[in-house]
Amino acid sequence: MAILQIIDQLDALVENSRRVPMLSLCMIDYGATKQAIERLRVNVPSSIMESERMLQERDRILEAAEAEATHMLEHARRHANEMLSNDSLVASARQEAERIVMDAQHTAQVRRDEADRYAARVLDELAEKLRIISKQVDNGLELLRQNLDLDGTHVAGDERSRR
C-alpha cells in the first residue's frame, strides 16, 4: 500500500505545482519529487521482483505447455500415420491375398481343365483300343465259329462214314 501512497503524493506534487503560463509545463519541488522517487525505489523492487518472478514462471509454464502440446500433437500425428500405414498395409495385404486366391483359383481351374483334357484323351485312346480289341475278339470268335462249323461238318461226316 506504501507504493500507492507514494504515487498519490507524486500526483499531488504535480497537481499542486505552479503552472507556466500559456504552456502545458509546470514547476514542481525537486527535493520532494526526488524523495518520493527514492521511496518508490525502496518499496517497488520487491513487488516488481515478485511480479517478474511470476511472469517468468508464467512464461516457463507456457513454454512447457507449448512443448507438451507440440509433443502430443507430433505423437498424435505419428500415431495417425501409423494407423493409416497399418490400414494401408492391411488393405495391401488384403488385395495381395485376394490376388493370390484369384491366381490360385485360376491355376486350379487351368489344372482341372488340363486334367479333364488329359483324361478325355486317355479315355478316347482306351476306347479306340477297346474297339480294336473288341473287333479282334469278334474276328477271333467269328473264326472259331467258322472252324467249328467246318469241323462240325467234318465231324458229322466222319461219324456218318464210321457208321
**pLDDT tens across 32-66, in order?**
989 888 888 777 667 677 778 888 888 889 888 88
Fill in the amino acid letter for 54: M
The verdict on pTM exceeding 0.85 is: no
Cell numbers for 76, please give them. 498424435
pLDDT exceeds 80 at position 155: no
Cα-based distances in Å from 86 to 14, 45, 90, 99: 75, 59, 6, 19
**pLDDT tens across 136-150, in order?**
999 999 999 998 888
**Which residue, chain included where needed, has cell 517478474?**
52
pLDDT exceeds 80 at position 3: no
Domain boundaries, the chain: 2-138
What per-residue confidence (pLDDT) applies to 54?
84
